Structure 1
Amino acid sequence: MLDDFLRVLNGETPEQIPWTADLSYWISGQKQAGKADAAWDSEEGYLQLHYELGVIPYYYYPRFWVGEPRYDESVTVAVTRRKATTQCTWTTPVGTLTETRAFMAESACEGVTRHPVSTPEDLNVLTYLIEHRHMEPVHLSDYRERCDLWAQYDGLPCLGLPRSGLPALCYEWTGLENFVYLMMDCETQVRALLDLMEEQEVPIIEAVCELAPPLVHFPDNLSSENLTGYYDDLLGPQHRHRLAALHRAGIKAAVHLDGTVRGLLPKLIDAGFDAVEALTPAPVGDMSLKEIESMAKDSATILWGGMPGALFAAPWTWSDVEAHLEAFRHTWGTRPAILGVADQVPPDGDIEFIRRIGASLRR
């Protein structure tokens, strides 16, 4: 399995279509239901689960991010938890920012109920906060050893860069609606903040280029509904700058586009990404498998995804999944592609579908 994955990355023809799935959300659901195997909490147990299911291990969030923020002594960060609510507070000499998250047991996930930045005053505090932080490389020193371990399970550990500036600002600090208003009211300050965030990535990109892994991930969580109109001005230049450095070091790069596809896919292809990952087609997404393939037809960009996570849960059945898999073979199967769950197996998903898809691909 791993050999075919690497063949596709290197522009070669695989013996069979590589098959990946992010199982972390499904595992969260099993924990919530009291059905999880304690072994899955260890890295080797997590790998063994994938191996038994016949799917390539790739996503592993405990050691995913390759950059972590470090603040100077003028900033205090405090996290408090009470029942289902988690609150994070950043205290600075110029003000305080607070984020609130709520855990929703019925969906086995957490959601933001209050973004830390919503007003121009908050933006001033965030500017101070970013000015008094730096990004430090992490999870790189033992990467080669981990690759050796993962290869025993036909896997490759994912390395996630810090989110690019625009999605980092939108998803980690403001939320989309607040960002739109701040961009209208405080455009000069927002642009300066994005420039500063990009500058702070330099040590991370340099460390990754020195390591030269075969693949890195841009975990930007993009959706065409949200950021297409901002892409050319605020995100595309940063993507191109990052990609140029990575490609000079011989590193392939994938970007996470798990929302609507139509607006951003051609822009990401033009930016030079080697792969666009988590592509979600109909019946969940905004484009069919064929439409996505046609949009990428003249490029060597790897289409990665194609199997909506929703298909793993009711009302869909194995016959629906099997038919979708056959459609995948007839559309993406003749071009550079990796079959992947887009973007996660849900908490109530039928995990046996993972095994059956792998078996079908091997036939």
Structure 2
Amino acid sequence: MRESFLKLLEGEPTRKVVWTADLNYWLDGQKHAGHGPSDRFTEEGYLNLCRELGCMPYYWYDKFWLAEPEYDGVEVVATREGLRQRRTWKTPIGQLWEENEFMPDSVSTGCTKYAVETHADLEVLLYILKHRRLKPAAISDYRERVALWARYDGLPILGMPRSPLPAFIHEWCGMDHAVYLLFDYPELVREILELMEDQERPVIDAVCRLAPPLIHFCDNLSSQNLTGFFDEFMAAPYQRRLATFHAAGIRCAVHLDGTVKGLLPRLANVGFDAIEALTPHPAGDATVEEMRALAGNRNVILWGGVPGVMFAPPYTWKDMAAHVKKLIAAWSGTPFVVGVADQVPPNGDISMVRKISDLLRNHE
């Protein structure tokens, strides 16, 4: 599948249907429950699991982000109390703090307190960012990892730091606070967003020197909350990034794992090569048949189409098989990757991954 995947990125005809599944959330559930051998939770253990299940290895997050923050004049302190984790940024003009809580039932973590909520917090954030630089990461051993993953018919994911507005929302404010701050203090927020984009430059330069076949914009997008901000705050930064990477021969995918109707056509229009984690009915806001029409571009790779919820009750293999067959029929004749949108959940039936692999092989 790796060969077909690379050809797909180059716009060439492919011999096989490419099938990817992010198994990390399911593995987190196994680890939390104390199931499975310890070597399953290593990078090579993950590659072996993908091989056993017949999907192309792509997702692995221990070596993933292409940037690490470094601070000068800012102290970052992390503490833990029970299931709660707090991170504090201490500066000469004030401090920010956020809190996240682990939820055992869902094996997930949620933010209970965002760092930036007020105008004063914005000023502190601006100070923090002025004293931050993004150091390129996940690059030094990338070639060796590519060789390792090729032996398992896969390619390791590389994630760009979140684009400015998604980073502002996801990492600092949350959606509610971000909306109010954007409208109440537009000039200050714009200064922060511009600074975030400027700080990407060393990372972008390092990635262009590396020239991987594909990088991922892991912005965790959803049309429900970002469509109205896209044209003003997101389109131009995306176009600047894409122009630089495309000039270096690098293809780019973006993670749209929420609702799709507003953003899918916009992301295709700004020039992304692939739009990943596309989640259709019964979990999303569009059918698989609607998604290609929404893209408005028969050359962009649609990647996803298999909702993670369908691996868990009340859905059965009969439901899943019918859905995958419908997906293949809807997307055939255009570039696509069959993928879980966006992860197999902890209570998911992992045997369905193998069954989908067999179904797709028989389809070929």
TM-score class, shorter-chain normalisation, is over 0.9
**Structure 1's 264 and 32: CA in aligned 2 closer, same or farther, altered over 3 A?**
same
Q: CA RMSD in A?
A: 0.8
2:310/2:316 contact within 8 Å kept: yes
Which ranges of 4 or more aligned residues in structure 1 deviate by more than 3 Å? none
Q: Which residue of 1 aligns with 2:32?
A: 32
Deviation at 1:299, TM superposition (A): 3.0
Q: Which residue of 2 aligns with 1:175?
A: 174
Counterpart CA distance in 2 for 1:34 and 1:44 is 19
Show the 5 A alignment for 1:292-303: 292-296=291-295, 298-303=297-302
Instruction: Between 271-280 and 28-37, report the one with greater CA deviation.
Output: 28-37
Counterpart CA distance in 2 for 1:303 and 1:165 is 24
**Aligned pair 1:12/2:45, yes or no?**
no
Show the 5 A alignment for 1:343-358: 343-358=342-357
Counterpart amino acid of 2:110?
G
Counterpart amino acid of 1:183?
L
For the residue of structure 1 that corresponds to 2:343, the secondary structure is coil
1:17/1:333 contact within 8 Å kept: no
Q: Which residue of 1 aligns with 2:204?
A: 205
TM-score (norm 1): 0.99
**Aligned pair 1:50/2:50, yes or no?**
yes
Counterpart CA distance in 2 for 1:288 and 1:163 is 28
CA deviations 1:132-190 (Å, max 9, x no partner) are: 00000011011111100000001100100000000000000000100011011110000
1:282/1:289 contact within 8 Å kept: yes
For the residue of structure 1 that corresponds to 2:139, the secondary structure is coil
Show the 5 A alignment for 1:205-354: 205-296=204-295, 298-354=297-353
Counterpart amino acid of 1:286?
D
Show the 5 A alignment for 1:61-100: 61-72=61-72, 74-100=73-99
1:306/1:340 contact within 8 Å kept: yes
Q: Which residue of 1 aligns with 2:157?
A: 158
1:168/1:220 contact within 8 Å kept: yes
Structure 2 residues without counterparts, runs of 5 or longer: none
For the residue of structure 2 that corresponds to 1:243, the secondary structure is helix
Counterpart amino acid of 1:272?
G
Deviation at 1:40, TM superposition (A): 2.1
Counterpart CA distance in 2 for 1:192 and 1:37 is 49
2:302/2:335 contact within 8 Å kept: yes
Counterpart CA distance in 1 for 2:42 and 2:343 is 20
Counterpart amino acid of 2:159?
G
Instruction: Between 1-10 and 50-59, report the one with greater CA deviation.
Output: 1-10
Deviation at 1:333, TM superposition (A): 2.2
Deviation at 1:42, TM superposition (A): 1.7
CA deviations 1:304-329 (Å, max 9, x no partner) are: 00000000000000000000010011
1:56/1:154 contact within 8 Å kept: yes
Show the 5 A alignment for 1:135-150: 135-150=134-149
Deviation at 1:5, TM superposition (A): 1.2
Q: Which residue of 1 aligns with 2:124?
A: 125
For the residue of structure 2 that corresponds to 1:62, the secondary structure is coil
Counterpart CA distance in 1 for 2:127 and 2:337 is 42
Counterpart CA distance in 2 for 1:87 and 1:133 is 20
Deviation at 1:14, TM superposition (A): 1.6
Counterpart CA distance in 2 for 1:36 and 1:315 is 25
Counterpart amino acid of 2:201?
V
Deviation at 1:297, TM superposition (A): 5.0
Counterpart CA distance in 2 for 1:38 and 1:88 is 29
Counterpart amino acid of 1:281?
P
For the residue of structure 2 that corresponds to 1:8, the secondary structure is helix
2:265/2:296 contact within 8 Å kept: no
Counterpart CA distance in 2 for 1:184 and 1:297 is 31
Deviation at 1:296, TM superposition (A): 2.6
Deviation at 1:205, TM superposition (A): 0.4
CA deviations 1:33-60 (Å, max 9, x no partner) are: 1113211222111111111110111011
Counterpart amino acid of 1:178?
H
Q: Which residue of 1 aligns with 2:188?
A: 189
1:269/1:299 contact within 8 Å kept: no
Counterpart CA distance in 2 for 1:32 and 1:121 is 39
Q: Which residue of 1 aligns with 2:2?
A: 2
Counterpart amino acid of 2:78?
V
2:278/2:304 contact within 8 Å kept: yes
Structure 1 residues without counterparts, runs of 5 or longer: none
Counterpart amino acid of 1:256?
H
Deviation at 1:86, TM superposition (A): 0.4
Counterpart amino acid of 1:131?
K
Counterpart CA distance in 2 for 1:170 and 1:58 is 26
